[in-house]
Amino acid sequence: MGLFKITEKYLICIVLIIIALIQLYHSQFDRLTPWKGGGFGMFSTNKRANITAVGYTSSGDSLIINVIGSKFDVPISRNFLTSTKNFPKKEKLEKLGTLIVNSYLHPQKLEIPSNIDRTSADLIKKDEKFYSTAFVPKYYQSDVIARSEKAIKIDKVKIILYETNFFEDGLLYKKRYVDEIYITKKVNKLK
């Protein structure tokens, strides 16, 4: 059978192979998760992208931000956040940062688990105030309601990309630094 005949007969299978090879390239040499993108790498790894954010207020305080997506009262759509976690490209992380920096942030109590590693526990103890609260991006109908719920705004956000994984040795769920970007709120000069 000639090359043309084979291509004609197995065109769809060839498309599958090409897309799977592209996915393999992106998952091995870029940041795409093996679970998605047509490479059939589902249930192959526990490695996941973990997006953590730290906000900075105008008074210089820093705070932990809980990056969540929702259909309802959170200005980050679940689809966008999932797609960003699955393939955390720089443009998507920048867009995520812009959404956070323009949003109100609602404080929620953060309880550090007792099974966290000793080094991290010591670091957390030194800065208890910072680690006692996580701020959730939230929609508010008016500034008055936002202020009544102690929601705040920030000037700058640092989006930090980690990779989490599970290790059988010691039954550890651990995170490793990958990259970070800063997004600063754009000032409207017309105001």
Instruction: State the residues that interact with another protein by CB under 8 A.
Output: 9-13, 15-17, 19-20, 24, 27-28, 32, 34-47, 50, 52-54, 64, 66, 79, 82-83, 86-87, 110-113, 115-117, 119-120, 123-124, 131, 134, 158, 160, 162, 164-168, 170-177
Closer CB to another protein, residue 46 or residue 184?
46
Instruction: Between 42 and 145, name the residue whose CB sits nearer to another protein.
Output: 42
Helices 90-101 and 78-86, packing angle to 10 deg: 140
CA distance 170 to 77: 36
- C-beta closer to another protein: residue 37 or 152: 37
Measured from the CB of residue 102, what is the shortest distance to another protein in angstroms?
21
177: enclosing H helix or E strand: strand 172-184
The answer to whether the beta carbons of residues 76 and 99 sit under 8 Å apart is yes
Q: Which is nearer to another protein, 39 or 99 (CB)?
A: 39
The answer to whether the CB of 112 falls within 8 A of the CB of 130 is no
Cβ of residue 40: shortest distance to another protein, in angstroms? Answer: 4
CA pair distance 18, 11, nearest whole angstrom = 11
Pick the closest to residue 139 from 73, 190, 57 (CA basis): 73
* Distance of closest approach, residue 84 Cβ to another protein, in angstroms: 9
Least CB distance from residue 185 to another protein, whole Å? 20
